[in-house]
Every structure is written in structure tokens, then in C-alpha cells.
Structure 1
Amino acid sequence: MALTRYDLDRGWTFRLSESSSAEDWLPVQKVPSQIHMDLLANKKIPDPFIDLNELAIRWIAEKDWIYRAQFKKPTELTAQESVTTDLVLEGLDTFATVRLNGTEILKSDNMFLSHRVDISSLLKDDNVLEITFDSAMLRGRELVKEHSHEHTFYVRQTEVSRVPVRKAQYNWGWDWGPILMTAGPWRPVYLEQYVSRIDDVWTHCEVSEDLKTCSGRIFAKVARAELKPVTLSLFLSGSKVWEKECLVDSAGLVTTDFHIDNPELWYPFGYGPQTRYELKATLSSSDQKSKLIGFRRSELIQEKDEFGKSFYFRINGIDVFAGGSCWIPADSFLSQIPAQRYHDWMKLMVEGNQHMLRIWGGGIYEDDSLFDACDELGVLVWHDFQFACASYPTYPSYLESVEHEARQNLRRLRSHPSIVIWAGNNEDYQVQERYHLDYDYEGDKDPQSWLKSSFPARYTYEYLLPKIVKEEDPFIVYHPSSPWGDGKHTTDSTVGDIHQWNIWHGAMNRYQETHLLSGRFISEFGMEAYPHLETTRGMIKDPQQQYPGSMMMDFRNKAIDHERRMVTYVAENFQIKYDLPSYTHLTQVVQAETMHFAYKTWRREWGKPGARKCGGVLVWQLNDCWPTMSWAVVDYYLVKKPAFYAIAKALKPLAVGISRTYHEWTAGHSDPTLPFRDTKFDLWVVSSRSKPVQVEIAVRFISVRTGKDVQSPLKLGTIIAQANSTTEILKEHAVVVGDPKLNDTTQPFDLVKYDPYVIHAVVKVGDEIIATDTSWPQPLKYLDFANRDVEFKALSATKLAIFANRPVKGLVFEETRTTKLSDNGFDLVPGEDKVVYVTGVSLDSLRYTYIGAPEGSLEVSVSG
């Protein structure tokens, strides 16, 4: 007989465990689900995403809950003795006791595990399935007390009870998300009946260095197959390219060698096709399982060079600059994320020229839909194991659960070609440094001694997890932590990856100082900004609270010292307007400017083969788990902030960059005229293209005050942009503009005579403009942005041209959930029309503003 599946997604009810009345059972719309979703659907709680409602529902975290499904034995299932019926629970959140018809069949304490239980002898004509979920917060507190004699539970971010619990750590709250302690059957529940079954099929294989062959082993795991043969096959575009019939061994394992000549390879987008083969295992007429897999040669290049030790990815022999984003769970309630939403998120990655997504260690082992989208679209994935910002224990039952979790999720995800690296945790070595826990990387190489130290989690990250990875997915890269570099301090810029939080956190460096803050791979950095107005007004309903610094606005932002830091960056760079539309715009421009400086500066350090000073930049963060203000460059509703577009420009296949000499203007006794007097600038192009490109570059010098060119353009003629490299064009090039006396630091500075100018570079291939960059005098708050004379012209119903008579900084259209723009948050220079494609809204319904605009928000008035 063929395998039969019956979903138990309907007919569920739930109630508080302490309740006793039959009337207390409430309906569940559909499983998968989580407790807040069901309470909200039954109107028992207010929407936790609105106003201060998060506070009103925190009581849920300290309660136990019961979910119950009553169902008749499905007619699809038989009653034959030779047939097995399993109950499959793909995810239980988190401390769960499962009973079927009064018999306990499972206890689980790990949200990240799926479970399969043989219930053949328990299934009746009428059945009751009950799952009791204990409070994860209370159980966590109990575990801390129970194991406090053997381990000190250090923690950053919210309370210590999260540390011994194998549950999504962000449920305890984070500095971008609420405290919402979920519970429930968060992934599908179903019955499967079979005589024999294919449990899994996978490969351990490697593409040769010359990319001419792919060879290795194909495996299948079979349940109750006895001596039946299994056929293993590979298909490409529906055509069979390899097949072999194999016997099942006594352990239920099928294995065979395979070899393919001239394989069609999987590439990141922009570097080649995302070719995938179908791998299939067939067990006569009983069952078959297939997966889409990709063959690629993936390497993390860590070689000694003039800067220390490199850290960058090489895919199919091509060095890839890993520009991209960090990812947090896309919702506080994971069960309500549809597959299409994951796909939409990954489409944004491609739209934004972002090649790598880092899945952060305080969330979950992400949904298959996300990786399917990454495979399809060509987005590389860095996946942390699920540990974050704590000193985790290693008592035996905990390590046993961690090993089960790691093996199960590696097996689920190892066939995805998009996943190129696993990291042991997020920032746990920073906890080791902060609390001076034992760590002698060079002197102590005995894993058993690590278990007895004050930092026993080293055993997990440097022994247990790499061992499991090697056994389950031997050709994947493993990295002990993020950040981490050969046991050196986590801020060491010469090796490994770093989290560069001296912008925003730490020293609060100015974003203009990114050239001082580089590393071999920047796997986190960020700048906060408000979302667009529609999102803010949707999450805070009271108009009296819709202003910066209101109680509800402050509550919504979970970052430590959020307003202190945000207003510092705004005030240091812009003239402050403090109404909601104006301040929203200023925060968004600050975030976009930070992305502009950081990505172009650090991508410049991509350099050339053998001298890759910086191998990648991942912003913290791409997304939000609820509507809020945070470091996200796209908000909860997938509405893009201007920073998203700034990243997209900096990561274009060929981009140009200009930088001026940095001069401090806020330190005591600093000379604020130095940025104006210094006329030197650098110019470069960086390319990810596989071949050299012949380009023409012109540089203009345009008065901010008048919009006139203050000097004839610098035409550099034909330049060869080297393949997959940075091409340096000008270094500290000085240009004499206006009165030379203004550049003389021995003379008084005449502000009246000073005519500040932007430096604007245009790169053409033939007659096509393919890249531009504009460098402004810093800080921007010293400039006069009056009378910009912005005009709009409709070229069609969806095509808008914008131009100005004077340079414009940070023109931002208000985006909504239905608005789609090809660009936003851009600068304008006289003589160049900016064309933006617009859908989802009529052109004359757009609202916009820019730095120095006469009002906080203006309506587009189009001619055409």
C-alpha cells in the first residue's frame, strides 16, 4: 500500500490547564497555531501588536495550556496488522506532554524538535488527542534553580530563565521585539500510515576544483522496508541523468557511490543559474521521496595576507562579496507566516542586490519555505545554531537535547544549496569576554576540561557541534560563533568576522567614520530608524500618542537608550524638526546615510584576488517580528525604508564611490571649518562582474547654494573596471574651487564667501548611466537647503521624473503596504532627471519630503 497522510489541522479546542469546566474550551481555527493567536481569535485578549497591549497580556507566559483534538479514525486508514500508523508532530512549543485516548505517548522539552510516535495500537474509532503545554518561563526559572550549583547562568537581553530552555530565545523579548511567550502546536500535526516508508534521501558530495565532476554518496533511510529494493535517481529538467537500484541494510540504510561528469551547477544570483536536480528515492509502490538539490563548490577562504587572515566565500571558483542582511524571525507568532511571505522576503533580497542572509541564533531553525526561496532565487545563507547572548549550560540532559536538535535540523536542511555556513551561536563569546569566563584557546585543547570550566559552552561550540556537522553534512563550513576569529578577541579586525556596534552602541562613532571600523567580515552593524507613517499610525492608534518621545513611542522601541542614541545621530547631522512626519524622515535619512557610508566604504575593501580586506557586510537587520521602530531596513509589513535602497545602490554589480577626508566637528576645540577647507577626495569603482568593463567617468562639482557647477567637470575618459575587484581611480585628489584663501587654515574663515559643493560622479558604459555617487560636505546640518525647486513630470501612469535646480538631499516618498517604488530616499543634482517607477498608487497621491523641505510632508504635483 502507498503511504497515506491525514492532517489533523481542524477540530481543535484549547483552554487554561487550571480550568475545569467544559465551557472553558475554546475553538482553534486551525493548527499549526500558538496560544496568543487563539486567544486573540476568541477575543480574549487585545491585539498585542497595538499600543501598550503587550503589557496587558504578559500573564499568558506564566500559565499552562491544553490543546485537544477530537477526531474519528480517518476512513483513509486501514486496520491491517501489517500497517503502521504514526502520529507526527513537527513542532511543539515547548514543554509538552502528549496523550492519546488517555495514554501518555510523548514528553518534549525542545521547541526545535519534531516527533514521530507509533500509535497503531492506540488508535480507535473515536479519538482524543491532548497536548499540555507547561509555562516555558516558569519551567526555565525552575531549571536555573535546579542547575545553579553546577553552572552560572549569565545572560544578556531579558531574563535568565530563557537560557536552559530550548525555545526561540526572542520570545523572552529582545532589543527589537516584545516579550510574547508563545505555546502550542506551532508546526503541523498529522497521521501517516504505511507498510514501509522512505524517511529521508540525501547526498554527501563535492564538486571538483575544476568544476568538471561531482561525486560522492547518495543515501536513503527507510522504515520497515525489510528486503525490498530502493531505486535512487537523479533528474535534471525532467530527464533522468543517473539511477541505481540498491538493497536496504539491516539498519534501514541505503547507500551508494555516484559520479556525474560536467554537472550543471547552482550559483548565487548574478553569477550564474540556480540549477537544481531532483533527487528521488522510490520504494516499489509503497512510497517515494524527492528533493530539489543543487551542486556547487562552496569554500570559506581563510588565508594569511597583508591584513591578517582573510574571511570570504568562494562559490564555484568565484570570489563572492557577501553583502546582505541578518534575519530575525519574521513574526512574533511563527505559525501565522505563510510560505508566500518567506518568498516575498527573499525576492526583496534579490531586488536589493543582497547576496547573503544570516539567520540569527536567537530565533528558530527556519522554515523550509525560506530555504526553498533562497535556493530558487540564489541567495546564500549563513545559519547560526540557536544560541544567543548567554552562557549556556552543558549538563547531560541538556547536551542530549542539543545533539538531537542539531542532528535533526541538519538532516532537514542539508540538501539546500543556498546554505553555505553554520555558526555555533550569536555573541556567546562576547558573554565570555564580558564576564571573564575561562577561555584558553591555544593552551587548553581538551574538550573534557572545558566542561569543568566557567565557560562550558565551549564544548558545545568547538567540539560537539563541529563533530555533528562533520557527520551529518561533511562538506559544509562550520564556524564556532558569530563573531569569532581563531580564539582572538571578538573585536579583532584582522581575523574572522566581527559585529561592528561602535556605530549606534559602544563608542557611538559617527557613521562618517566607517573607514575606521572595518574588519575581515562585518556580520552585524546597524542604525535605527522609524518605519513609514502608515506603520507607526497602525501600531499606535491614539493620535495624542503619535509623536516622537510619547509614552507609546518609547515603549515600542525596545533598544537600550534608544532616543538618546537616535537623537544624537539626528542632531549631529541635521537641523531637527520634531513632529512625527519630519522626525520620521530624519531618522530614515540617518539610517540610509549610514548604509551608504558603510556599504560603499567596506565594499571598497573587497580589493582584488589575494587582497580581500573585507569579505562581506551584513546589516542588522533586514526585518522585524512586529510593527516597531528598529534597525530593520524593511518593516514588519515588508515596507522598505530608504536604507534598503541605499544598500541596493552600494551593492550594484558595478558601483562607484566617492569619499572626502573625514574631519571631526564635535570634539572639544575641533575646527568645524576643516571639512569645508579640505578639497581632497577619493574615487573608485568596485565590480562583481566576471570580466573587465570599459567605463567612462565624469565628476562634477555643484554648488549646494546655487546649483551651478563651481568648476568644469573632471572627465576621466575611458577606465577599465577590473573584474570582481576594486579599481582605485583617484586618491586624495585635490580640486581648487572658489577662493583659494578659503583653504588657507592660517587665515580667518569667511563663511559668507564659502560656497559648499557636492562632488557627483557618473559612470557610463557607452551611453548608459550605470552608477552614480554623491559626496556632500559634512555635517549636513551646516548647509542651507532652502529653495530646492523640486519638480515632477509624469512620463506615464507609472513612471515619474523628478528634477531640481539645486542639489537635494534625501527625497523620500511615503511608502505604504501597497506602494511599490523602484527607488526612494535618493539625492538629486541639477541637470540629471531622476526616473522612478511607481505602482500601487496614483502619482498625484504620493507624498514626499526632503531635507529642508518647507513642510514635513508634501503632495506630488505632476506635469505631463
Structure 2
Amino acid sequence: MSDFHSLASTALKDAWVFSQVPSEHLSDVERQWHPCSIPTSVHVELKKLGVIPDLYKDLNEWKVQWIQEADWTFKTEFNVDKSRLNSKHLDLLFAGLDTYCTITLNGHDIATVENMFVSHRIDVKNLVKESGNRLELHFKSPWHQARQAEESNGGPMPLWNGASNRLYSRKAQYGWGWDWGPVMMTVGPWKDIQLETYDARLEDIRIETTLTGENYRIASLQAKVTVSTDPDDRYHVDLALKDADGGVIRSTENHPAAQSLHWNLQDEVEAWFPRGYGNQTLYSLDVQLKDKHGTILDRQSKRVAFRSAKIIQEPLEGQDGTSFVFEINGIRIFCGGSNWIPADSFLTDIQPERYRAWVDLLVTGNQNMLRVWGGGVYEAEELYNACDERGILVWQDFMFGCGLQEAEQAVIRLRDHPSVVIFAGNNEDYALAESIGVMDYNDNSGDYMKSKFPARHIYEILLPEVVNRLSTIFYHRSSPYGGKDSGDKTVGDIHQWNVWHGTQEPWSNWDKLAGRFVSEFGMQGYPDRQTVDQWSDDKTQLFPQSRISVNHNKADGFERRLELYLMENFRHGFDMPSYIYYTQMIQAECLAAAYRLWRRNFKGRGKEYTSGALVWQINDCWPCVSWAIADYYLRPKPAFFTIARELEKYTVGIVRKSAKTFANKISSALFEIKEEIEIWGCNSTLQPVDATIELVTFNLETDHRDKHVFEVQLQSNASTEIWSGTVPGQAARTDDSQIAEPIIVQARLYLSNKKDTVVARASSWPEPYKYLRFPNPGLRITVDNEQVRISCKKPVKGLVLDVEGEECSWSDQALDLFPGDEQIVHAKGLNNRAVTYRYVGDHDI
């Protein structure tokens, strides 16, 4: 048999040119063709050519808005080997076109597309010749196409963030401008283009794995192959299940392609677990398609893992509503993680290793879940692969409302990743519908197309059918979505924005703001000083209130909100170093408190009152001020480290509250105020552990100290209450003019089998910090190559380390220090250089 039967693929990557098209919108254009390779976008290429400036600097974002209002053409020529022209099928594959594109081959329009999330396979056998094939991609202005669609559908609709016409475009929504991102509406072939020739190919391989039994040790695998052409009974497949080293676990040859394959594997394979609970064991299923002569026509290798994933929603002990807890292989898990937005405004600039670096950062930060937010894109395979390999669970939103083809392609592409454990229909669409009065929760008719909120048809009819038909992954109709409404704190998930947005609560109220699963919450903070320095080459503009600094924060009212939290909590200056530091400290303190208080609510089976917290957000799409806990350049902010400490395997927590008790019901002058604290510990392992808690105090005014010791057992996979009482050394007050003693409380956690090592720390300071007089702490910092030893004579709040010159990778930051408790920070790349530092109160004004 000749070789042309087998599938052959050629990437049409190089030898492209692109040009702006004179149009009714921008007609005075001299047509010039510029060489490029794909995938790419117009902005990226124009920047390479020097036609446009660095779009992340200064106010340059606003100099390039014309790009989205122009039409563009990309074109190339290619040849095809004569032997391949004899194949039964010759297809062009477009993995992603951004967004409104007419495809022309040899003068014939072969498709018009308008959805950047959808791939396209087009049969071009009758149009392709041996040489000189001319392929052209004609992209229309996304701005004008969406505006026309908006006008033809009755005009603007309500929305949060971005331009209103974005609602009429199947294009990444964040590119229209968001409260953390610039207006950068990309255009171009943003994914690969391939030429494929074949007689028959593997169109789909549906794999389902199960893990059952008392200890989830009994495994099975079912595979169903779909062949692209002709009856399936003409073909056979060879299948082999292999481990990571290529060893064959189970195989079969000449299996009829039309028949499903089922293997009972018993305990021949290992389970896949999230990080912290077991190994991330991965396998591959190699499939070869053969014709009746035994000729191999196509081959694919699919990722396989064995795990059980459920979301448990059941009544809770002592509280209303139901749980919303992820259970993997029978283990109920507190999900501490982050939201993910696209890592760049220009997706084709993201290299595969950058995705892995982000996932590695999640692991470093002790996180175990990533929510892929619904205003970006269905992300690159490299991101999901890294999550599979590192044990990060993935919450996957659909990209707002979407059509059947888009939904099916997304589910089919992502279903084999063991990390993907939930699909959510959209981001905040129900919340928006509630806010404008078009959501009727009493209408459960299923006939929503004539209702005031017809998108319910997508979220409640279309998407669940697609997800359930094509996968075994849990479907959640929206994020957030709950019981009586999207803000119901007793059912489903919530987005808790009453810190920063909404009622702008103090972060000490996080415990009152808890939900069953908090899938969004956040606080802004400035990025690393080196990131700020890159905003502009004009250093006179690098102050907090400059036009350039303001343009690098896209949140409405951010100055008022930042200053609200700054003024309520800290004395601070307006020089850039002070502003960077204190906004970072707000973010660090605020977010750590959320994780600390909500993890406390994970109290064991039947008492999972809060089962997850996903901060908004882990990353940025450009260098800016935002809610991200690591900036565009993967530089962690102090909040990254305070969160990481709250997500350690073992933690200890303290909360301090003032209790005012009146002598009787009729008097407002006779009362007693006591400062009370509560202490608890958390243990995410599956075994209880014996531990010692040391509670130590220090009076900033008198240097008086107290110490108390508690012997406790931390229950497995839950929080354990340890002690509550008045702050040691703090006398009760009887009128509001009496000032509480400035007593700092620290708790240190030791495991009973390792009593000389502090496993976890927590500290409680009188708040707000602006009232404290911080004495000279007698700070001592000793550097030994890449190790930094730190000690003090009086307590230190929020110590942040830095170094001039080449950057370091710090193991910890935003430290609270206590006398007699030396801490060690590792700094990769420090190489004995001098360390600079800052802490709360060291530059009081």
C-alpha cells in the first residue's frame, strides 16, 4: 500500500504577509505588506515593526485604538506534494481566528467566521492544486462588526465593564477594557493553521474512567472511537494504556472501531489526587486507526487519569442551606486558590513555559484550585497540562453566553484533564440580571426564550445538556449561583465584593461575609516597585497621582477606595515607595484575614460551612495596579506570601474583638469593654495530629510579656477550636476615653513530634494600626549567601525585604516578628548582597 493513505499534517506557519485594508472607516491608507509568522495579531506585528510604541508604557494604549477600527488581511502561498493530492480528503484546519474573518482560497470564499473561540475544519480538496495555492484571511474591524450587531438588535444592553457592543461579539471580553485591563482589541490568526490530508482519521476519542470501591482503588476505562468518514465497521483500532515511562499496562489490537472498549483495571493503576493529598499519576491511551489491510491511517495519544470528582451539596449541621464542597476520591477538600485571567493582552505573546511558571507559583503559594474566568478564553493546553501535573483543580467557566458548537468543542477539548472538575455556565450573568430586575426565580418553566432573561435557555437548557452528553464533569449554571439569589450565602457559591466594592466593609468582617464557597473576593495593591518603574521612561511621572499611574489602574473610583482603606488603617505617605508599600500591606492583611477566617469554617464532615476561597486574582494581563497577588511579570506581592501561610498544611489563627457589656438596659454610660481573642488551628492532612500552641504577648508601651501553653489535638482535614478569653494583660475599660494597652499577641504552633520547630504562626495587633506608636524594634538581619536570618527585640509588623540590582526570589515576605522567635527567609539569587527592608511604622509621618 502507498503512504498517502496515512494522515499527514503541515503547519502553515511561515511566509505570511499582512496589511491594513483601506475602508470606509479608515480610507487614507497606503497599502503596505509586512512579513509575519502565525499565530500572531496585528498589534504584536506592528510593535515588532516599530510602527507603534510599547503599549504597556505611558498613555500609549490610547494611541492605537485605530487598529480595532480597521480591516486587515493576512495572506500566504503554499504548495502540496502531488502524492498527497490523491488522498480522499484534504482539509484546512483553523484552530482560532480573531474574530470576524472571511477565508479565501485561490479566489474562492470558503468560509466566513465570527467566533474566536471556535476551530474550523474546511474541506478544500476540490480547490487545492499542487503549487501556488493562495490563502487569504480578511479580518473585519471587531469594533464596527459588534457595533452593527448591537444596533440591529435594539441598541445597548446593561453590563458591567467594557464597551456595550462587546455583548454582541464572540470575542474575548476582557479586550474591550475591564477594571484591571486596557482596551486592546486584537485581530488576526491567533492559533495554528494546518493542512491535513488523509483517507480516514480519528475524529473523536471519548474516554471515561471511573474509580470506585471503599478506598477508591477499583478502576475502569471505557473508550469510544469515532472515525471521520465511511462506516466505522471498515476500520480497526489498536489501543494501549501506558504509564508515564511508556510501560504498557493494558493493550488490545484490531479492536472494531465501531465498538466501545471497556477495561476493568481493578488496582492496576493509581489514582490522581490534588496536590497535598496524593500523587498526580497520569497515563496515556495510544490509539492507532487501521484499515482492513492493516495500514495505519491515523494515531493519537490522549491523556488519561483515574479519579472520582464530586461536588457535595447536602444539609449542614446547625446552619441553613447546603454545603458546596469538592470531594476528590472520597476526600472533601478545602479549596484555597485563585481566579485566572488571560496572562497577557496579546495571547500569542505567551510562551508555554510562562503558563507553567504561573502554575508553579500557585504550588509555591500552597494553592490547590484555579478558576478560569469567563471573560477571557478557553485557555491553552499548556495551562491545563501544568495543572494536571501539579495537582491544581480547575474551575472552568464558559465564556459568558455561547453557542452549541463552541460549547461542544470546549467540553471535548477539556474533558480529559483530571484537573478540570467543574464547568460553570457564565460569570455573573445572573447577578447582573438581578441587578436590573429581569431575573425571575419563580419561573422554572424551562421556556425562557420569551422571558426578560432569555440567556437562561443557554445556561439552564443548552449548556447542561452539552456537558452531560459529552462528559462526566459537574455543571454549575453560573458563578455565582445559589439558592434564593446569586448572593445567597447558604447555597452554592458567591462573589463577595462587599469589601472594596459594595458596602466597603472592613476586612475584620470577613467572617460575617462568608459563603459556602467564595469564588471571588479581593483587595487592590500596587505591584512590585520594579514593575512600577517600567510604566514610563519619564521618572517624574512615577508618583501615585500622575496621569500615567492613574491610567495603570482601571478600577472605577480606585483612588477613593484605596484611600478609604489606607486612612482607616495606616499612617502613610504619598511618595511612591510609601504608597506601594502601604497599599501592598492593605492587600496582604485583608486577603490573609479572609483565608484565615473562612478556612476556620471548614469544621469537618457535615460542618463544611465554607469550603473554598478563590481570590480575585492570581495574575495580570499587563503591568498595572489591580487585585492580582502577583503582577504581570510574575513578581509576587506581599499578599501572595500571607495567603501562602494561611494555606499551609497546618495553621493557627487568632481573631480579636472588643466586647462591650452594659450594666443595665437603661444606661449608656455604665459599661465594661473587654478585649477578647479566639484561637483555632487547621489541619488539612487526613490524620489528626497532637500539637502544642504557645500564646505569647508583648506590651509595646511597657515591654511586659505573658506566655500560655495549650496541648491540643488538631482533627484531620478540618479546623479545631483551641481557646477563647480576654487578651492576657489587658484590663477591662469602663469608658471610651480609656485607651486599651497596645498588647501584641502571637501564637506559635509546634507538632508534638517536632517540638523544636515552629510549624505555623499567627499574630494579632490592636487595630487600626494607625493608632499605634511603633517603637524601635531592634531589628537584626544577617545574610549568609542566600539565607536571611531575622530577629527583633520588640514586635515588627509587615516586614518586606528587598535588594538593589538583580532580583531575588524570596521564600517569604510581609513577616510579623516577635522577640525570641527568629525567622529565616531564603532568597534565591541574593548571593550575600545587602538587604533593604521596610515595616509598618518605620517611616511614620
Q: TM-score range by the shorter chain?
A: over 0.9
Q: Are positions 1:277 and 2:283 aligned together?
A: yes
Secondary structure in 2 matching 1:768: coil
For 1:682 and 1:527, the matched residues in 2 are separated by 25
Structure 1 pair 676–279 and aligned structure 2 pair: CA distance change class (3 A)? farther
For 2:344 and 2:770, the matched residues in 1 are separated by 37
Secondary structure in 1 matching 2:183: coil
Quote the RMSD (CA, aligned, Å): 2.3
Contact 1:246 1:254 in 2 (8 A): no
TM-score, structure 1 as length reference: 0.91
Task: For 2:22, give the aligned amino acid.
Answer: E
Structure 1 pair 720–508 and aligned structure 2 pair: CA distance change class (3 A)? same
For 2:727 and 2:623, the matched residues in 1 are separated by 47
Task: For 1:789, give the aligned amino acid.
Answer: G
Secondary structure in 2 matching 1:242: strand
**Deviation sequence 1:547-582 (CA, Å, 0-9, x none):** 011111112110010010001101110002110001
Deviation of 1:256 (Å): 2.4
| Greater Cα shift, 802-811 or 410-419 | 802-811
| Greater Cα shift, 813-822 or 634-643 | 813-822
Tell me the residue number matched to 1:300. Answer: 311
Tell me the residue number matched to 2:666. Answer: none
Tell me the residue number matched to 1:478. Answer: 475
Q: Are positions 1:244 and 2:236 aligned together?
A: no
For 1:843 and 1:577, the matched residues in 2 are separated by 31
Secondary structure in 1 matching 2:510: helix
Deviation of 1:147 (Å): 2.0
Contact 2:324 2:516 in 1 (8 A): yes
Tell me the residue number matched to 2:100. Answer: 95
Tell me the residue number matched to 2:485. Answer: 489
Indicate which of 344, 363, 380 corresponds to 2:376: 363
Tell me the residue number matched to 1:348. Answer: 361
Secondary structure in 2 matching 1:450: coil
Instruction: Identify unmatched segments of 5+ residues in structure 2.
Output: 291-295, 661-668
Contact 1:675 1:778 in 2 (8 A): no
TM-score, structure 2 as length reference: 0.93
Secondary structure in 1 matching 2:222: strand
For 1:60 and 1:676, the matched residues in 2 are separated by 67
Tell me the residue number matched to 1:445. Answer: 444
| Greater Cα shift, 520-529 or 835-844 | 835-844
Contact 2:87 2:197 in 1 (8 A): no
Q: Name the % identity.
A: 39
Tell me the residue number matched to 2:262. Answer: 257
Deviation of 1:61 (Å): 1.3
For 2:522 and 2:288, the matched residues in 1 are separated by 48
Contact 1:679 1:736 in 2 (8 A): no
| Greater Cα shift, 97-106 or 618-627 | 97-106
Secondary structure in 1 matching 2:499: coil
For 1:134 and 1:662, the matched residues in 2 are separated by 62
**Deviation sequence 1:504-552 (CA, Å, 0-9, x none):** 0000001111111111011000000000111011013221211011111
Indicate which of 761, 767, 771 corresponds to 2:747: 761
For 2:554 and 2:671, the matched residues in 1 are separated by 35
| Greater Cα shift, 117-126 or 95-104 | 117-126
**Deviation sequence 1:344-383 (CA, Å, 0-9, x none):** 1000111101110001000001111000000000000000
Task: For 1:572, give the aligned amino acid.
Answer: E
Tell me the residue number matched to 1:467. Answer: 465
Deviation of 1:241 (Å): 2.3
Task: For 1:459, give the aligned amino acid.
Answer: H
Contact 2:209 2:305 in 1 (8 A): no
Tell me the residue number matched to 1:722. Answer: 715
Secondary structure in 2 matching 1:608: coil
Instruction: Identify unmatched segments of 5+ residues in structure 1.
Output: 393-398, 665-672, 857-864
Task: For 1:454, give the aligned amino acid.
Answer: K
Tell me the residue number matched to 2:76. Answer: 69
Deviation of 1:711 (Å): 3.6
Secondary structure in 2 matching 1:564: helix
Deviation of 1:705 (Å): 3.9
Contact 1:52 1:555 in 2 (8 A): yes
Q: Are positions 1:374 and 2:377 aligned together?
A: no
Contact 1:26 1:42 in 2 (8 A): no
Task: For 1:636, give the aligned amino acid.
Answer: Y
**Deviation sequence 1:445-488 (CA, Å, 0-9, x none):** 332x3100110001111111000001010x211000000013x2
Contact 1:246 1:256 in 2 (8 A): no
**Deviation sequence 1:663-693 (CA, Å, 0-9, x none):** 89xxxxxxxx999963311000011111011
For 1:160 and 1:735, the matched residues in 2 are separated by 53
For 2:28 and 2:74, the matched residues in 1 are separated by 15
Tell me the residue number matched to 1:667. Answer: none
Contact 1:849 1:855 in 2 (8 A): no
**Deviation sequence 1:490-515 (CA, Å, 0-9, x none):** 11111110100000000000111111
The number of aligned residues is 813
Contact 2:683 2:719 in 1 (8 A): yes
| Greater Cα shift, 594-603 or 205-214 | 205-214
Deviation of 1:46 (Å): 1.2
For 1:631 and 1:723, the matched residues in 2 are separated by 33
Tell me the residue number matched to 2:337. Answer: 324
Tell me the residue number matched to 2:729. Answer: 737
| Greater Cα shift, 570-579 or 22-31 | 22-31
Tell me the residue number matched to 1:802. Answer: 790
For 2:74 and 2:550, the matched residues in 1 are separated by 36
Task: For 1:700, give the aligned amino acid.
Answer: V
Structure 1 pair 719–736 and aligned structure 2 pair: CA distance change class (3 A)? closer
Contact 2:221 2:265 in 1 (8 A): no
For 1:220 and 1:675, the matched residues in 2 are separated by 76
For 2:431 and 2:748, the matched residues in 1 are separated by 43
Tell me the residue number matched to 1:546. Answer: 542
Tell me the residue number matched to 1:515. Answer: 511
Tell me the residue number matched to 1:679. Answer: 675
Task: For 1:787, give the aligned amino acid.
Answer: N
Q: Are positions 1:825 and 2:825 aligned together?
A: no
Contact 1:13 1:25 in 2 (8 A): no
Structure 1 pair 212–844 and aligned structure 2 pair: CA distance change class (3 A)? closer
**Deviation sequence 1:64-93 (CA, Å, 0-9, x none):** 11111123x155x62452343221110000
Contact 2:212 2:219 in 1 (8 A): yes
Task: For 1:439, give the aligned amino acid.
Answer: D
